[in-house]
Amino acid sequence: MQEIIQYLFSGITTGAIYAVIAVGLSMLYSSTELINFAHGEFVMIGAMALVTFWVQMALPLPVAIICTIALGCSLGLLFERFAIRTARNPQPIVLVIITVGASIFLRGSGMIVWGKDPFSVPPFSSHESIEILGAALLPQSIWIVIAAIFLAGGIHFFLKQTLTGKAMVACAVNQKAAWLSGIPPERMAVLAFAISTGCGAVAGIFIAPVTMSSYDMGTILGLKGFCAAMIGGLGSLWGAFAGGILLGVLESLGAGLISSGLKDAIAFILLLLILYVRPGGLFSAKEAKRF
């Protein structure tokens, strides 16, 4: 029982990171109906930028976090402006290919800037671990879960309760109708990319103290985040959050109780099962159809 509780704590921590990544993907899809397969590289940029600002430049932690998020948002703006908006044939498959190419470009750029050696970051607080039923709960895990909940809640409030958020959703539903209503689709797309890539940077910030950070860490994290978003229901923020937690817990239990070699395979096995049983995801919204 003690081991199972420890696996649960580890799984919730990992799942919260997946949840933050999945929330960023779902938020962008809700606003633009685009799946960004370069999202994992923005997680990598967030982790490596924190190493630069906090560890190497010795900036105070709050300042380093702000600079890291600002960098992620700025790169998202540039990505939308020069890669997405300039596409001559903005069909979904073309945009997906562009994001895959951007992922390769960002990963190569990360290798040039930070090198191939992995980096470590100290935990955000020096408090000792909390013992619960014989299992140790790290303070960093609490930080990660709290950040994931606040991020998902904040974006949900922004999209559902603010005029700007509703305008972003309207652009995704019908861009031409939104334009006729006075909503500038280009500005909404820019804002959506900035928020989404900022979420990726936040995920990188909180994953840096619990694992080694390197230029190639974003690929598998992006795929896990995509799996979490699809499991919960792409476009559903709380579904993405729940999918991330579920994926992290099942990964941890599978690696601890069965075999560590199954850790990365569990995500894709679970995704296939969910898509087979419920293609829209566990928490997908039902669409109303008029006959």
Distance CA 205, CA 201 (A): 6
Q: Is the dihedral of CA 123, 124, 128, 130 positive or negative?
A: negative
Average pLDDT over every residue of 131-160: 83
The verdict on residue 107 lying in a domain is yes
Pair type for strands 135-137 and 130-132: antiparallel
Cα dihedral angle (58, 205, 146, 131), rounded to 10 degrees?
A: -70
Phi, psi of 288 (to 5 degrees): -85, 135
The verdict on residue 214 lying in a domain is yes
Output the pLDDT for position 284: 64
The verdict on residue 290 lying in a domain is no
Does the pLDDT at position 291 exceed 50?
Answer: no
The verdict on residue 222 lying in a domain is yes
Which of 19, 14, 44 shows the shortest CA–CA distance to 197? Answer: 44
Mean pLDDT of the chain: 85
Output the pLDDT for position 49: 94
CATH number at residue 234: 1.10.3470
Q: State which residues form the domain around 257.
A: 2-277
Could you report the per-residue pLDDT of 216-253, keeping only the tens digit for each?
998 889 888 898 888 888 878 888 888 889 888 888 88
**DSSP string for residues in 208-238:** GGGS-B-TTSHHHHHHHHHHHHHHH-TT-HH
The verdict on residue 283 lying in a domain is no
Average pLDDT over every residue of 152-165: 86
Q: How many domains does the chain have?
A: 1
The verdict on residue 179 lying in a domain is yes
Does the pLDDT at position 276 exceed 60?
Answer: yes
Does the pLDDT at position 266 exceed 50?
Answer: yes
Could you report the per-residue pLDDT of 70-118, keeping only the tens digit for each?
999 999 999 888 888 887 777 878 888 899 999 999 999 999 999 999 9
Output the pLDDT for position 51: 93
